[in-house]
Structure 1
Amino acid sequence: MTEHVVRVVGIGADGWEGLAPAARDEITRAEVLMGSARQLDLVPGEFERVPWPSPLLPALPDLLRRHADRRVCVLASGDPMFHGIGSTLVRLLGPDRVRVWPHPSSVSLACARLGWALDQVEVVSLVGRPASLLLPHLQPHRRLLVLGGSPTEVAALAPDARLTVLEQLGGPRERVHHDPADADPLHVLAVECGPGGLTRVPGLPDAVFEHDGQLTKREVRAITMALLAPRPGELLWDVGAGAGSIAVEWCRTHPSCRAIAVERDPERAARIGRNASALGVPGIRVVVGRSPQVLDFERPDAVFIGGGLTAPGVVERCWAALGAGGRLVANAVTLESEAVVARWHAELGGELTRVAVSRGAPVGGFTGWRPHMPVTTWAVTKESE
């Protein structure tokens, strides 16, 4: 692809009339105008108009290559760098080959209409994504703006929330109402959360997970997550995932966190997928297979071994996969798995912790302590490659 600059102009529902003079000038000087059919119809003039193909992302490099010798202007909705095509083009071409003229985003316009402070609003994009991604964001009395998705699906996920549909913002057909079933395709959905919602702090109640007993219990899970120390954008391998509770909690800490859950039992693997969807992190990749044979994935930032510790080669493979600063945490319940942990602790160092949890339970007409099996946790950080 020859070195040329792509101009990206943000345009709102108010169309040509709402554009600043500099933005209009960039459009009028273009030879090729690219955008959605709706956006292309907003602009007067004689151009070669190229509507976006579907799916767009796989076709975009070739599309730009075919017009590399011409002056290209791309139309985008609102601010092109906010969940928009501008960000995609920068990733593809680099920042030096993209020039952006932004328009007020739909989020800015929505906040202006609602009287909401933009810096106190959480924005969730459901464009091309499952609605369940919204679940971790449904926190008591929070304000959300949802881009894309189905308002009726959001209403079903958040029955205690107040919903406001803001349509065609900035245009002559602008409308604000509270009927999710009557939403224009070009809308922003404002969500004022009710008192419900699960915390994003690790240690969710055991009861929210579907499981067959193979579940890292709540107290141990909270400790394990503290040792794994998830950070935004990081990838976890959850090996011997059982119900997938560690992978789920990891991904709930931040929308950019990712996880691969490995489970040899197909029924349990299917259960992991259901737990991930029900708790708002449907993007978890679930792999059915035996470790270490299937452990050939993108380099992780952290690894949790919850099952299969005694299988030959599992610890070796997980440790080798980590880069500098990577964390490995393993939980052992049986004497055999404790022996493995002790041996590796002697070789690699780290910290050993034994956790014994007892929960209050009825004893006749009284309350007594019902102990759970103690868990030995080994946590180690890789200092160098």
Structure 2
Amino acid sequence: MTTAQTPAPAVVGIGADGWEGLADPARRTLLDADVVIGGARQLGLLPPECAGERVAWPAPLRPAVPRLLAAHAGRRIAVLASGDPMFYGIGRALAEELGPGAVRVLPHPSSVSHACARLGWPLEDVEVVTLVGRPAARLAAALHDGRRLLVLSAGAATPGEVAALLRDRGFGPSPMRVLEQLGGARERTTTPATADDWEGRQPPGDPLNIVAVECRRAPDALRLGAVPGLPDAAYEHDGQLTKRHVRAVTLGVLAPAPGELLWDVGGGSGSIAVEWMRTHPACRAVTVERDPARAERIARNAERLGVPGLRVVTGAAPGALAGLPRPDAVFVGGGLTAPGLLAACWDALPDGGRVVANTVTLESEALLAEAHRRHGGELVRLAVSHAVPVGGFTGWRQAMPVTQWAARKTLATTAGADR
């Protein structure tokens, strides 16, 4: 805890231009500090006049934050951050550790602000994806024709990884540029080249870089929209797949919101969990699938469609649900006849949580009718027909109808079920 004699820890943003690019308040803070904590590269940007003890962050960084703060308690602490400390920076960790009012932040223009200034791109029209400490596959969820992306690089190899992913996902015609050492004396921007032309023509450059991408989908690439209901062809599957039109309705009823967690029970191909996570980068999901081959297939689908953070649990529900974090919503797409499964899912939900269950069998339909009687909600039947050739004409072929139960758990529905 800080006192009147010991000021709050300060987080100072610094750019590639180093000491010369800092404003006077930031310089005074660093000159007055008893200890300066930062990355080795950032500490190397300070002049000898900054006489405070210099401490380099260990790896992994996040667990070391409380330990280092405690070790230097009572001293004037300054923490160096790259650019804006509150934009994918250490400022977040310190604010969460100490509380937002116990940290003084002196921001510097971020690499994203510098990049937009160089490219002439309005910042509000650009999507930023960080690959620092994250898999490159997460970029796939942001690929939409005509969008502009800025990719925060993990190092010199990241531009090549971005180009390879763009080619693999059908965005090879996308122009790319790499902006290095933004704001510093060694700033450089590469000549634009498409992802198709990148390999072998653009050698790795400076590790401190950001990748600018103007998304262009190849004419023959599968179009993946921004809302649920991706084409069935987007998924690798063995037939266990919630089909496109039913999937769109199901996600609409589940109503994902940023930061919420979904349990996808009986994952099949993982389509519900994948599209739940694609609705917003903060959405999370756990899918439970008893078949190991299908579980591996779910993981591949998640990576290809840009949500590699999907957690896949291999095991049979309800047993496999034990120990999972509490969900905001549950989807049951298979295994409804397993004893106790639906009750376990309902019991796991918090007040206000949602459950949606789909089935095509009479046995499971009876279970959903009973759940509807006990807990309320909506019980609907979804029927989809497709036009197919009938001799020289065209007729309708109906897919198996899907019975869907959806309910929201409240104190009232829970009390009613107990009567």
Q: TM-score range by the shorter chain?
A: over 0.9
Partner of residue 225 from structure 2, selected from 191, 199, 203:
199
Matches within 5 A, 1:12-161: 12-45=15-48, 46-149=51-154, 150-158=158-166, 159-161=172-174
Task: Please state how far the C-alpha of 1:2 moved relative to its aligned partner.
Answer: 6.9
Cα separation, partners in 2 of 1:200 and 1:181, compared to 1, 3 Å:
farther
Moved more, 136-145 or 56-65: 56-65
Q: Matches of 2:315 and 2:394 in 1, distance apart? A: 43
Match of 2:417 in 1: none
Q: Matches of 1:259 and 1:246 in 2, distance apart? A: 9
Q: Matches of 1:6 and 1:148 in 2, distance apart? A: 28
Unaligned residue ranges in structure 1 (runs of 5+)? none
Partner of residue 335 from structure 1, selected from 338, 348, 362:
362
Q: Conserved in 2, the CA contact under 8 Å of 1:300 and 1:326?
A: yes
Task: Please state how far the C-alpha of 1:364 moved relative to its aligned partner.
Answer: 4.3
Match of 1:292 in 2: 318
Question: What percent identity do the matched residue pairs reach?
Answer: 64
Task: Please state how far the C-alpha of 1:195 moved relative to its aligned partner.
Answer: 3.6
Match of 2:195 in 1: none
Secondary structure in structure 1 of the residue aligned to 2:342:
helix
Secondary structure in structure 2 of the residue aligned to 1:57:
coil
Opposite residue 271 of structure 1, the aligned amino acid is: R
Partner of residue 188 from structure 1, selected from 190, 193, 210:
210
Q: Matches of 2:173 and 2:84 in 1, distance apart? A: 31
Opposite residue 127 of structure 1, the aligned amino acid is: V
Task: Please state how far the C-alpha of 1:156 moved relative to its aligned partner.
Answer: 1.7
Task: Please state how far the C-alpha of 1:47 moved relative to its aligned partner.
Answer: 2.2
Match of 1:379 in 2: 406
Secondary structure in structure 2 of the residue aligned to 1:330:
strand
Matches within 5 A, 1:274-353: 274-296=300-322, 297-353=324-380
Q: Matches of 1:331 and 1:63 in 2, distance apart? A: 51
Q: Conserved in 2, the CA contact under 8 Å of 1:324 and 1:383?
A: yes
Opposite residue 323 of structure 1, the aligned amino acid is: P
Moved more, 143-152 or 261-270: 143-152
Q: Conserved in 2, the CA contact under 8 Å of 1:33 and 1:50?
A: yes
Task: Please state how far the C-alpha of 1:289 moved relative to its aligned partner.
Answer: 0.9
Task: Please state how far the C-alpha of 1:365 moved relative to its aligned partner.
Answer: 4.5
Q: Conserved in 2, the CA contact under 8 Å of 1:261 and 1:285?
A: yes
Deviations 1:330-356 (A, max 9, x none): 001111000100111111111111111
Q: Conserved in 2, the CA contact under 8 Å of 1:235 and 1:259?
A: yes
Unaligned residue ranges in structure 2 (runs of 5+)? 167-171, 193-197, 415-419
Q: Matches of 2:9 and 2:341 in 1, distance apart? A: 49
Across the two proteins, how many residue pairs are aligned to each other? 385
Secondary structure in structure 2 of the residue aligned to 1:270:
helix
Q: Matches of 1:280 and 1:69 in 2, distance apart? A: 45
**TM-score between both structures, scaled by the size of structure 1:** 0.97
Task: Please state how far the C-alpha of 1:160 moved relative to its aligned partner.
Answer: 2.1
Residue 357 (structure 2) pairs with residue 357 (structure 1): no
Q: Which segments of structure 1 move beyond 6 Å, counting only runs of 4 or more?
A: 1-4
Q: Matches of 1:160 and 1:383 in 2, distance apart? A: 50
Residue 10 (structure 2) pairs with residue 10 (structure 1): no
Q: Conserved in 1, the CA contact under 8 Å of 2:65 and 2:93?
A: no
Secondary structure in structure 2 of the residue aligned to 1:226:
helix
Task: Please state how far the C-alpha of 1:69 moved relative to its aligned partner.
Answer: 2.3
